[in-house]
């Protein structure tokens, strides 16, 4: 951007300094001229006073008055001798004042009183401007008259004008010198300022690499340092903002929740990919209209609500979507941010927790009802047959044992989940442990006509709590026995995965598990077929205990359905050789 010369700071600064210098030099010249003029006149006055006093001294000694009066021509002055009345007694040969009094009454009285009188300019009785010095003439202590010395001012003015010419010439050269110096000084100031202007223009374009050269360590140098610091700070802050923007973008892309931002006109400003997925919108071109149609009700509530955040659940494509709407505030509402969460799983887990309380109550109430009923029957003497009595007592015992197992399972599960159990780890062979468990459960398998198939590959020794792992195997195999049909097979396998973890699987040939319920089978009291849960005799805590034990060993559990039928339950544990 070009700058006109008259508008440039160089021109303004140079003109300002030059004017100040010219005014100062002229003012100084006038004062100096006046000073020299006064100085020269005072010098002449003192000279005339000295000469006059010498003349008066010679006259008083009786010398020829006219002769001494003419001597004054050598000092470029004219002498006039007056009496007490002011009358001219004698004067210089070539000096012809007008007839009459040269002094007025007051001036004459001052001389007669012993004072020396000095006057300049056009004087009384004299045609040309003169410098006059009048002194009293004293004889025997009495003033008898006065001596007047007149020096033409023309000669004095000539000398003063010579001095003035020298002052003017000096002032002219001083003005030239100050003008040149001010130009150089102005350039020295404006050069870094122009450099700062160029750097600022580059900063406005986004280029922060241009720096201002620091020449002097003065205020302008400090300003240049500040300018360079500002450039570095802006570059750093813009880079930080850019990184924050990239981080925000990465965070939004990495979020499991969907985020949609609307402006004050309900137009979509920004949305992450999760928002597309959760809202079920595949057409990106019409996302703005479709997103607003889905979230219209929530956005309208935000405009009418007093609270800052609106939370609402939406049923969308078989999912339960939680929409949280917050206003964007900047001198008023400038839009809204909608955070979208798929809470289908959480809702289902919440229902499971509610069912847990009901199931615990039911599981405890049923055996207690049996125990109470049969106990009352025995106490009331309703059972007379010994065989029936033994049968009642046996039922009471079984329900008591069942109740004990349920309470123990709940306590074990609670302790494991809260980390209150101590694992007694040691090295052992998982294959030998599986063989022992299978041997223990052989009678149960024979009763259901179920066969065990062992596919045990050799693995390193497992470092874990052997009793707890045995409990895991018993629960998994017991679960497989319950859901395996008569004449079926249960396959137990071990292997070493690519991460050097020991993987154990228990496969049954039962009805399998619905795919949408697989994530929830590890919850307490979760039963896939609730109508047959009582017939199967389980408490609904076995798989929850399995999960807690394995996770306390830093392992993991999962399950899947086999393509040929049945379910496969896995758990993996890190082995330490």
If you average pLDDT over residues 389-405, what whole number do you get?
Answer: 81
Contact (Cβ atoms closer than 8 angstroms) between residue 476 and residue 569: yes
User: Residue 430 above 60 pLDDT?
Assistant: yes
User: Residue 315 above 70 pLDDT?
Assistant: yes
If you average pLDDT over residues 163-167, what whole number do you get?
Answer: 77
pLDDT at residue 8 in the model:
67
Q: How confident is the model at residue 2 (pLDDT cuts 50, 70, 90)?
A: very low
Long-range contacts, stretch 320-327, CB < 8 angstroms, 24+ apart: 320/344, 320/347, 321/278, 321/279, 323/295, 323/298, 325/295, 325/298, 325/299, 325/301, 327/302
User: Residue 107 above 70 pLDDT?
Assistant: yes
pLDDT at residue 451 in the model:
93
If you average pLDDT over residues 197-220, what whole number do you get?
Answer: 76
* 313: enclosing H helix or E strand: strand 310-316
Q: How confident is the model at residue 531 (pLDDT cuts 50, 70, 90)?
A: very low
* CA-atom Rg of the chain in angstroms: 61
Q: 71 or 385: whose pLDDT is higher?
A: 385
Q: How confident is the model at residue 532 (pLDDT cuts 50, 70, 90)?
A: very low
pLDDT at residue 285 in the model:
61
**Structure tokens that stand for 228 in this block:** 């360079």
Q: How confident is the model at residue 452 (pLDDT cuts 50, 70, 90)?
A: very high
Q: What does the pLDDT look like over 455-508, one tens digit per residue?
A: 999 889 999 989 889 989 988 998 899 888 998 999 999 999 888 899 999 999
* 27: enclosing H helix or E strand: helix 9-60
Q: What does the pLDDT look like over 27-56, one tens digit per residue?
A: 877 887 778 777 877 888 888 888 878 777
pLDDT at residue 10 in the model:
66
Alpha carbon of residue 390 to chain centroid: 82
User: Residue 330 above 90 pLDDT?
Assistant: no
- CA dist 149 and 76 (Å) reads 10
**Structure tokens that stand for 206 in this block:** 């986004």
Q: What does the pLDDT look like over 333-364, one tens digit per residue?
A: 567 788 878 777 777 777 767 766 666 676 67
pLDDT at residue 493 in the model:
94
If you average pLDDT over residues 231-255, what whole number do you get?
Answer: 81
Q: How confident is the model at residue 97 (pLDDT cuts 50, 70, 90)?
A: low
Range with the poorest average pLDDT among 95-99, 205-209, 352-356: 95-99
| Pairing verdict, β 501-507 and 489-496 | antiparallel
Nearest alpha carbon to residue 343 among 334, 351, 335: 351
User: Residue 549 above 90 pLDDT?
Assistant: no
Query: Cβ atoms within 10 A of the Cβ of 299, count?
Result: 17
Range with the poorest average pLDDT among 101-105, 121-125, 378-382, 515-519: 121-125
User: Residue 128 above 80 pLDDT?
Assistant: no
Long-range contacts, stretch 445-451, CB < 8 angstroms, 24+ apart: 445/481, 445/490, 448/481, 448/484, 448/486, 449/486, 449/487, 450/481, 450/484, 450/486, 450/487, 450/488, 450/489, 450/490, 451/488, 451/489, 451/490
User: Residue 72 above 60 pLDDT?
Assistant: no
Average pLDDT, the chain: 78
Q: What does the pLDDT look like over 362-371, one tens digit per residue?
A: 667 777 887 8
Question: Among all chains, which residue has been given the structure tokens 């289908």?
Answer: 344
* 570: enclosing H helix or E strand: strand 567-574
pLDDT at residue 63 in the model:
59
Q: 19 or 9: whose pLDDT is higher?
A: 19
Q: How confident is the model at residue 535 (pLDDT cuts 50, 70, 90)?
A: very low
Q: What percent of the chain has pLDDT over 70?
A: 80
Q: How confident is the model at residue 534 (pLDDT cuts 50, 70, 90)?
A: very low
Q: 480 or 577: whose pLDDT is higher?
A: 480
User: Residue 574 above 70 pLDDT?
Assistant: yes
Q: 305 or 103: whose pLDDT is higher?
A: 103
């Amino acid at each position: 951007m070009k700058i006109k010369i008259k508008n440039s700071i160089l021109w303004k600064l140079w003109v300002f300094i030059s004017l100040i210098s010219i005014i100062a030099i002229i003012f100084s010249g006038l004062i100096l001229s006046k000073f020299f003029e006064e100085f020269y006149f005072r010098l002449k006055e003192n000279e005339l006073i000295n000469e006059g006093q010498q003349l008066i001294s010679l006259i008083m000694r009786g010398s020829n008055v006219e002769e001494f009066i003419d001597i004054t021509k050598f000092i470029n002055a004219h002498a006039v001798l007056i009496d007490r009345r002011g009358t001219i007694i004698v004067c210089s040969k070539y000096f012809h004042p007008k007839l009459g009094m040269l002094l007025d009454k007051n001036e004459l009285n001052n001389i007669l009183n012993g004072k020396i009188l000095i006057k300049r300019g056009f004087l009384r009785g004299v045609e040309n401007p003169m410098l006059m010095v009048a002194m009293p003439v004293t004889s025997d202590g009495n003033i008898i008259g006065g001596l007047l010395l007149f020096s033409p001012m023309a000669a004095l003015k000539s000398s003063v004008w010579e001095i003035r010419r020298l002052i003017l010439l000096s002032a002219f050269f001083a003005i030239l010198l100050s003008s040149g110096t001010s130009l150089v000084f102005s350039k020295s100031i404006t050069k870094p300022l122009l450099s700062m202007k160029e750097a600022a223009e580059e900063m406005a374009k986004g280029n922060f690499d241009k720096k201002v050269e620091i020449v002097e360590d003065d205020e302008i140098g400090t300003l240049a340092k500040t300018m360079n610091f500002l450039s570095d700070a802006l570059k750093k802050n813009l880079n930080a903002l850019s990184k924050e923007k990239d981080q925000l973008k990465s965070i939004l892309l990495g979020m499991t929740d969907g985020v949609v931002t609307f402006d004050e006109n309900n137009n979509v400003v920004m949305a992450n990919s999760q928002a597309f997925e959760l809202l079920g919108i595949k057409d990106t071109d019409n996302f703005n209209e479709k997103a607003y149609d889905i979230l219209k009700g929530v956005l309208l509530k935000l405009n009418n609500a007093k609270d800052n955040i609106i939370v609402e659940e939406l049923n969308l494509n078989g999912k339960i979507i939680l929409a949280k709407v917050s206003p964007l505030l900047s001198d008023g509402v400038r839009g809204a941010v909608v955070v979208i969460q798929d809470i289908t799983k959480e809702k289902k887990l919440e229902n499971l927790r509610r069912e847990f309380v009901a199931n615990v109550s039911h599981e405890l109430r049923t055996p207690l009802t049996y125990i109470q009923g049969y106990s009352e029957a025995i106490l009331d003497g309703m059972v007379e047959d010994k065989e029936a009595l033994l049968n009642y007592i046996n039922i009471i015992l079984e329900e008591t044992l069942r109740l004990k197992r349920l309470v123990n399972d709940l306590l074990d599960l609670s302790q494991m989940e809260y980390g209150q159990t101590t694992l007694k780890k040691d090295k052992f062979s998982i294959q030998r442990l599986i063989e022992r468990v299978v041997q223990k459960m052989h009678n149960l398998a024979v009763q259901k006509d179920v066969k065990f198939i062992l596919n045990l590959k050799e693995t390193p020794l497992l470092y874990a709590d052997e009793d707890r792992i045995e409990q895991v195997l018993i629960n998994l195999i017991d679960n497989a026995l319950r859901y395996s049909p008569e004449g079926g097979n249960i396959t137990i396998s071990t292997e070493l995965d690519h991460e050097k973890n020991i993987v154990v699987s228990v496969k049954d040939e039962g009805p399998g598990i619905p795919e949408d319920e697989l994530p929830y089978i590890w919850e307490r009291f979760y039963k896939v077929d609730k109508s047959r849960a009582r017939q199967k005799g389980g408490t609904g805590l076995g798989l929850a205990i399995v999960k807690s034990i394995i996770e306390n060993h830093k392992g993991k559990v999962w399950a899947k359905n086999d393509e040929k039928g049945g379910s496969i339950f896995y758990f993996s544990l890190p082995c330490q050789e």
